[in-house]
Amino acid sequence: MHSSSSDDPQKSKGERPISFWANQDLSDKAERGVEKVEEGEVLLQWLNSKKENSVIYVSFGSINKFPTSQLIEIAHAFEASTHDFIWVVRKNNDVGGSSDEDEGFMEEFEKRVKESNKGYLIRGWAPQLLILENKAIGGIVTHCGWNTTIESISFGLPMVTWPLFSEQYFHEKLVVEVLRIGVSIGVRKWRVWDEFGEVVKREDIGKAIGLVMGIGEEAKEMRSRAKALSEDSKKAILVGVSSHANLIQFIEELESLKLQRLKGGI
């Protein structure tokens, strides 16, 4: 197959984000990722009751899983933290969800943080855009999946990076070492997606949270860099600028290939 992209270095650089917000009308975001609209509204009320940059969002994607020992360490780290949190915990019948063994502990933990109003647990899918754009969110703990990484950058949020497998370790390197808008949780051993990795201790989790959500100079500089990248991402989707131009080029390329196919060229 011959394509005009081979003659254009800009078109042949490889994978790039086409657009951070392809659809800028987010009026339905409260409905995304929740089984009932009311659930999104309750979550939004909880977030709106919190101070700016006081809540950290915790999500490890749709297929990642942890042993009970790791869930316990995460739970204790956030319960001991001075920051409120939202934690997405997969249902036990989901891929990568918690097992029946985990449920007893998690139910007790959820009861405690609900009574103290310190945490909000989401069982199943989460309306991530609704959460990340809220002013109460000050950072995110992430497995460094590409979508979540891009969304966090576009909303100007520093990250605690916790890669679990595959290319996530390269995304962590981009966030922590290149862009300098994140703190590594310290996981170094690559694993297969359906295997359990090393257990990260609550002390290490708490330290990373403190560095990202704290009031020290390092945290301030990290947030400043994240906000600057957020502004750049907004400019990138304007008509004629990089992300918008990439999308238009992609559409034109598809149209060109379709015409070639109709003419019998490929």
The token pair that represents 63 in the structure block = 């297929």
Between residues 56 and 41, which one has the greater pLDDT?
56
> How many separate helices (H) and strands (E) can be counted in the chain?
9, 6
CA dihedral sign, ordered 81, 215, 54, 200: negative
Measure the CA–CA gap between 97 and 123, rounded to whole angstroms: 9
Determine the average pLDDT of the residues in 246-259.
Answer: 89
Determine the average pLDDT of the residues in 89-93.
Answer: 66
- pLDDT in the model for residue 21: 47
Residue 209: C-alpha distances to residues 161, 173, 183 (Å): 10, 18, 8
- Which element (helix H / strand E) includes 202? helix 202-213
Would you say 218 and 194 are in contact if contact means Cβ atoms under 8 Å apart?
Answer: no
Work out whether strand 119-123 and strand 137-142 pair parallel, antiparallel, or are unpaired. unpaired
Least confident piece of the model among 12-21, 80-89, 165-174, 215-224: 12-21
Residue 216: C-alpha distances to residues 36, 84, 223 (Å): 40, 18, 11
pTM of the model: 0.79
pLDDT digits (tens, 9 = 90+) for 110-135: 999 999 999 999 988 899 999 999 99
Measure the CA–CA gap between 187 and 200, rounded to whole angstroms: 8
Measure the CA–CA gap between 220 and 230, rounded to whole angstroms: 15
For the cut 60, the answer to whether the pLDDT of residue 230 exceeds it is yes
What are the residues whose beta carbons fall under 8 Å from the beta carbon of 227, sequence distance 6 or more? 156
For the cut 50, the answer to whether the pLDDT of residue 13 exceeds it is no
Measure the CA–CA gap between 250 and 71, rounded to whole angstroms: 42
Name the CATH topology of 27-187+196-217.
Rossmann fold (3.40.50)
Between residues 99 and 83, which one has the greater pLDDT?
83
- pLDDT in the model for residue 238: 79
- pLDDT in the model for residue 32: 52
Would you say 30 and 44 are in contact if contact means Cβ atoms under 8 Å apart?
Answer: yes
CA dihedral sign, ordered 202, 207, 210, 212: negative
Residue type, 112: R
- pLDDT in the model for residue 20: 46
CA 45 remoteness from chain centre: 21
Determine the average pLDDT of the residues in 72-80.
Answer: 96
Determine the average pLDDT of the residues in 10-29.
Answer: 48
- In percent, the amount of the chain with pLDDT more than 90 equals 57
Angle between helix axes 68-80 and 202-213 (nearest 10 degrees) is: 40
- pLDDT in the model for residue 37: 57
Angle between helix axes 242-262 and 217-236 (nearest 10 degrees) is: 40
pLDDT digits (tens, 9 = 90+) for 192-223: 666 777 899 999 999 999 999 999 999 999 99
